[in-house]
Structure 1
Amino acid sequence: MNPQGERWTSDHVLALASDAPSREAGSRLATPGSWPETGTRDGAVWGLCKGGAGGSTPYRTVVDTAGPDFKCSCPSRKFPCKHALGLLLMWASEEAAVTDGAPPAWVEEWLTARRQREKKTSGGAKAPSGPPGSSPSCGPEAARRRAALRARRIADGAAELEQRLEDLLRSGLASADRAGSGTWEETAARMVDAQAPGLAARVRELGSTVASGPDWPSRLLAECALIHLLGQAFLRIDRLPPALASTVRTRVGLTTDAADVLTGPDTTTVRDRWLVLAQRDAEEGVLTSHRVWLRGERTGRMALHLSFSGPDRALDVSLPRGLLLDADLAYYPGARPLRVVLGARHADPVPATSPPPGGGTDAALAAYGDALRDDPWLDTWPVVLTDVVPIPGQGGAPWQLADADGESALPVDPRCAERSGLWRLTAISGGEPVTVFGECGHRGFMPLTVWDPDPVAL
């Protein structure tokens, strides 16, 4: 519950998870049958979850949503743990499952201890007042203090990670494969403890790069450089321009609530007729991430709408490709804004009558490079290619999308090599130029939609 007393959305809860397995495990626990006792009051949500030693002792889980901050009696090193995620998902989606009630003694003890620590941290300042019966730990000032505390934790984690990178470089990258995967997992766990899931994910990427094929030390060095850049940026975040600072916060794992994006003072809302370029779903255990790419007809701006579905909510399929949607989109803050929240709709969607305008392969590379200049941690950038011809790879060579004039070409992302969509693209093209939408990045181009003349998924 935020200071205004509203329950979160499931997307807000899932954004707190440190990784996909945590989201999956939390979703499985978001059922009343797993929680014999739950309750909420004044910004606190608590419950007893079946489990514990031999299954007879329930885990005690409590969340202070004003921070947020979490406490669970389980032995997990993840922060928040699956029990906290499951409890919050149930609280967010099923109001009848977590109702208002007086907190038990173990919840009160934890909240009281937190309030005492806050007073010490703030130099004995009086907690902000609120309505009768409200918790001193719930309010704008308390939320700011908790945000500052989390920022300090992340800064400590970033400093620790910097030291580990120095140790790695001092011992030599070529020796990294002798450390074993346990070292990387332990470092990632330390970043989770520091409440920096974004740093934890990048550490796991380091672990998967080691001994991953030819020239892996060079790729490992590049990943180390990006992590070093991110860590240093966060440690000096007060010196960064506001837009870049927002990007750095997002990259380390600090999330912005969708409601705040729509109503915040720095919100950038754009009204346009948005063409739905593509949809793509990715299975993450019992959850599904749903991505929808859009392009403004008047502005030419790209946008990405990201949502999650799971046991507690259905997949949103209201934006099929090929439709034009007259609507307001609010962009999440950042140096190169892309992700959006859907705002007011001004008319019913209508089918588009023609493919979107685009450019050649050189323009696609320039667009990715331009975006990368603002956000050096970007893996890909959405682009529309016009008048390109798919060329199947021969003898192990990668597929390519070549300009019709034969002057330039883009390699297809190797992760697409086994997808039947490439052959569908070739069949639709028949050797003739086509319009293709996809993501251009350092691995190559990943095609998602081709027009024939209507949009076809790849």
Structure 2
Amino acid sequence: MTQQGVRWTADQVLALAPDASSRKAGSKLGVAGPWSEAGSSGEGAMWGLCKGSGSKPYQTIVDIADSAGPAYKCSCPSRKFPCKHALGLLLVWAGADGTVPEGGDPPAWAAEWLAARRKRADSKQSSAAAPATSADPEAARRRAEKRAERITAGATELEQRLSDLLRGGTASAEQMGYGLWEETAARMVDAQAPGLAARVRELGAIPSSGSGWPVRLLEECALLHLLDQGWLHRDRLPEGLAATVRSRVGLPSQPEGPPVRDHWVVLAQYDTADSRLTTRRIWLYGTESGRTALLLSYGAAGRAPALALPVGLALDAEVTGYPGAGQLRVELGEQFAAPTPTTQRPPGVRPEEAVARYGAALRDDPWLESWPVTLAEVIPARTQDVRDARGTRGTRGTQGLQGTHGSWQLADATTDSALPLAPSATSRPGLWRLIALSGGAPLTVFGECGHRGFTPLAAWPKDSGETVSLC
């Protein structure tokens, strides 16, 4: 449970917000004024009444000791989790100004909810410990074979469509319009290959997307062809690569192997969304194993996923990995204590080593967009600024990655190397926070290194153990 007197920082609380508007609204409620009858059990649960626009205050409860991550309950009509009232209550608690005293007994409305959660958690643990009853293995085998046949038919059809496109020339893709791509993607959905369908939809967005689109289209067609061929010849692949192909095509997989218990530092958390799904990525670092792991959770379109973890805190928990070559994805298992502050962080590397690690990971998974890496002693700067300071030598580490004259990059403080920032990273508010945090001094930065550049997600100023989220 939580240690007596240990409080989160405001940044760690706001990292749980589902979007920017919730972060802003929650910050306004992070003061004592709107709150009454607030309290905390000292074991991870807190509660309070927040004055709203109606005659009755909102009843808000937060349980940060929940085994599946922080849990929230509020009588407000918001469909966001956590809502602005839960964020405000956490901020007031984090401020440690006495508004949320510890050691009290919860009121009946809070005690009832907390007791129900504890009961469900105990029931879940009992169910997990009980031997699982297996379904009919023969029926499961037949279903798997039927789906594999459908995917094979879909992959074969997709190969023909790619051949027709290349035979007619990539210039013809501009006249085809998006309709043909959407039709092809629908065919892949019918073939029960959602991974292929998603990649086909991405192809449809490339024509006329700006300078150099034919090259980008050819690159993505080649990767899609490689995935098709991987599926059609999966029996010839090493098991790890075959598992990766199955995952990329869209077949579901289950975590396997013994769980790994460690103190997992939450490095970063961010969401990506499309018209169908919101995907949350949470990066973890094991302080004892030295392992970097990825948690994925999903929510219906327009709704944030349920799982949220505070950036910069450490979890004493078990995780179980998913199959696949170089697979980083894990499933969060039992948590043995609530998240607690930590000063530990992953060791950093130089930019050239970061690129080498991404290249090595591509051997196991050619469809990999990026690889997690921590850079040590780097300074955010424009390419032009670095070249002016170093004469005409330029920078190493940018070859093979997209980088333009005058663009932002992370330059090594001691060597002649740098990593360009991904175009998407330069439009995020986190870039300016990173620049302000550095102030021209070197710092340690965690992020994702890919073929489009480096995307910073968290940073640590020199001689500081506090994690600053850049998401």
Secondary structure at 1:417 match in 2? helix
Which residue in 2 is equivalent to 1:145? 142
Which residue in 2 is equivalent to 1:436? 445
Counterpart code for 1:404? A
- Size of the aligned set, in residue pairs, is 315
Q: Which runs of 5+ in 1 are unaligned?
A: 1-130, 132-137
Per the TM alignment, residue 349 of structure 1 is displaced from its structure 2 partner at its CA by 3.0
Which residue in 2 is equivalent to 1:356? 346
C-alpha contact (below 8 Å) 2:206/2:217 kept by paired residues: yes
Per the TM alignment, residue 217 of structure 1 is displaced from its structure 2 partner at its CA by 1.5
Which residue in 2 is equivalent to 1:288? 278
How far apart, CA to CA, are the structure 1 residues paired with 2:340 and 2:422?
32
Matched, 1:456 2:468: yes
Counterpart code for 1:230? L
How far apart, CA to CA, are the structure 2 residues paired with 1:344 and 1:154?
36
Distance 1:204 1:311, change over 3 A: closer
How far apart, CA to CA, are the structure 2 residues paired with 1:287 and 1:204?
15
Counterpart code for 1:345? Q
Counterpart code for 1:163? Q
Per the TM alignment, residue 343 of structure 1 is displaced from its structure 2 partner at its CA by 1.6
C-alpha contact (below 8 Å) 2:264/2:314 kept by paired residues: yes
Deviations along 1:76-101, one digit per CA (max 9) or x if unpaired, are xxxxxxxxxxxxxxxxxxxxxxxxxx
Aligned counterpart in structure 2 of residue 210 of structure 1, from 200, 207, 210: 207
Matched, 1:338 2:328: yes
Distance 1:234 1:402, change over 3 A: same
How far apart, CA to CA, are the structure 2 residues paired with 1:285 and 1:226?
24
C-alpha contact (below 8 Å) 2:265/2:345 kept by paired residues: no
Per the TM alignment, residue 310 of structure 1 is displaced from its structure 2 partner at its CA by 4.7
Matched, 1:160 2:157: yes
Q: Which has the higher contact order (CA 8 A, sep 6+)?
A: 2
Counterpart code for 1:455? T
Q: Which runs of 5+ in 2 are unaligned?
A: 1-132, 385-403
How far apart, CA to CA, are the structure 2 residues paired with 1:364 and 1:231?
29
Distance 1:163 1:318, change over 3 A: closer
Matched, 1:270 2:260: yes
Counterpart code for 1:171? G
Matched, 1:416 2:386: no
Deviations along 1:434-457, one digit per CA (max 9) or x if unpaired, are 111111000000111112331111
Which residue in 1 is equivalent to 2:193? 196
C-alpha contact (below 8 Å) 1:292/1:304 kept by paired residues: yes
TM-score (norm 2): 0.63
Q: State the identity as a percent.
A: 59
Which residue in 1 is equivalent to 2:92? none
Aligned counterpart in structure 2 of residue 323 of structure 1, from 300, 313, 334: 313
Deviations along 1:228-269, one digit per CA (max 9) or x if unpaired, are 11001101111211111110011011012xxx42xx4xx253
Deviations along 1:264-300, one digit per CA (max 9) or x if unpaired, are 4xx2532222111111123445853221101121222
Superposed, 1:41-440 pairs within 5 Å as 139-256=136-253, 260-261=254-255, 264=256, 267-284=257-274, 288-310=278-300, 315-316=305-306, 319-392=309-382, 397-440=406-449
Counterpart code for 1:332? Y
How far apart, CA to CA, are the structure 2 residues paired with 1:356 and 1:148?
43
Q: CA RMSD in A?
A: 2.2
